Amino acid sequence: MMRREEIRKLCKDVVHTVAARHHITVIELSVMPDHIHMVAGLPAAMSVSSALHLLKGASSHEIFQRIPAFRRRYPLGAFWSPGKFFRTVGDADADTVINYVRNHRFQQATLDGFPVTA
C-alpha cells in the first residue's frame, strides 16, 4: 500500500494535518509499507480509542480526496484496516519508545528489502 515514497509522504502529511485539527500532538511518526507507527500526545479528555478512530477515519477520507483513484483500489471505503494496536508509555521511557518508532522502519526495511529514505 505505502511502498512508494510519494504515498508514504502523503500519508505522513495527512496524518499530521488530521492530528493538528484534533489537537493531537504527533511526537514521532514512521510510515511503513503497510502500517504506521506513531507516538502521540492526546488532549486530556480524549481516549486512545477516540484518537485512533479520528486519525484513521479522517486521514482515510483525506487520502481518498487527494487520490481519487484509491477509491477503486479500496472499494469498501476504508484505506486502513479495521485492526489497531496501541499501548501507553508507562513501562518504557518516552525516549526509548520514540527511538523505536524512529528507527523501526529502517530495521524493517532492511528485513523486507525495501529502499528507505529519511
pLDDT given at position 50: 94
Looking at 9-113, which runs of residues are DSSP E strands?
25-31, 36-41
What's 5-112's CATH class?
A: alpha beta
Averages of pLDDT over each 10 residues, the chain, 118 residues: 80 95 94 85 94 93 90 79 74 73 60 46
pLDDT given at position 14: 95
pLDDT given at position 106: 53
pLDDT given at position 52: 93
Domain coordinates in residue numbering, the chain: 5-112
Residue 116, number of CB atoms within 10 A of its CB:
16
Closest CA to 18 of 49, 60, 76: 60
